[in-house]
Amino acid sequence: MREQFLVEVDTEKVTDLAMLNRLFTSWVEQVYHRRVHSETGQAPLERWMAGAPFPTPTLDALREAFRWSELRKVAKTATVSLQSNIYNVDPSLVGRQVELVFDPFDLTDIDVRFQQRSFGKATPHQITRHAHPKARPETPVAAPPAPTGIDYLRLIDTERTQELGQQINYEVFLPGPEPVEVVDLTEEGQ
């Protein structure tokens, strides 16, 4: 998207979010969804539709999918450490290796698992770091290349508008007034 769509956006001509959304929708529908992908050999729209119907994940499933985990051995004091933080865990886990499951951006909320079973939350005892050092927020990428001068997105938007205009116009099938017969009153018509 950054290398194909954003480089074409002319910030002087795009005056508001609605216009940007219209151009983006046109680009996605006319170009991106229809172009055959080099890895899959299919256009994204074709590949997507082959998988329908689509299940919607729950918020809990999404949250779980993006959590990290690390293994730690529980100390004699029923504590574990993670990134210089110390947490209290269930005393029955002393001496065992447990899995700590967490959001890398919030090291205050840790789930403790042993042999695929949950043993509840680890209670923060001493917190010195609130986020995992490898969890970096997204950083902006380098500035996009200079525009080419061709209004590529306008061309795609125009193509999409024309294509929408060629679709069936159902209004012509609605009943209307009866046609009027035209009578030619010129000399040749008599």
Is the pLDDT reported for residue 176 higher than 70? no
Q: pLDDT tens digits, residue range 79-113? A: 999 999 999 999 999 999 999 999 999 999 999 99
Q: How far apart are CA 39 and CA 24, in angstroms?
A: 23
Are β-strands 106-114 and 97-103 bridged in parallel, bridged antiparallel, or unpaired? Answer: antiparallel
Q: Is 60 helix (H, G, I), strand (E, B) or coil?
A: helix
Please say whether the beta carbons of 96 and 79 come within 8 A. no
SS (H, E, C) 97-159: EEEEEEECCEEEEEEEEECCEEEEEEEEEECCCCCCCCCCCCCCCCCCCCCCCCCHHHHHHHH
Q: What pLDDT was estimated at residue 94? A: 96
| Mean pLDDT confidence for 157-179 | 74
Q: pLDDT tens digits, residue range 1-35? A: 667 777 777 777 788 888 888 888 888 888 888 88
Q: pLDDT tens digits, residue range 40-81? A: 898 888 888 888 888 889 999 998 999 999 999 999 999 999
Q: Is the peptide bond before 104 cis (omega within 30 degrees of 0)?
A: no
- Residue in 42, 4, 6 with CA at minimum distance from that of residue 140: 6
Q: So where are the chain's domains? A: 1-54, 59-126
Q: What pLDDT was estimated at residue 109? A: 93
Q: Is 42 helix (H, G, I), strand (E, B) or coil?
A: coil
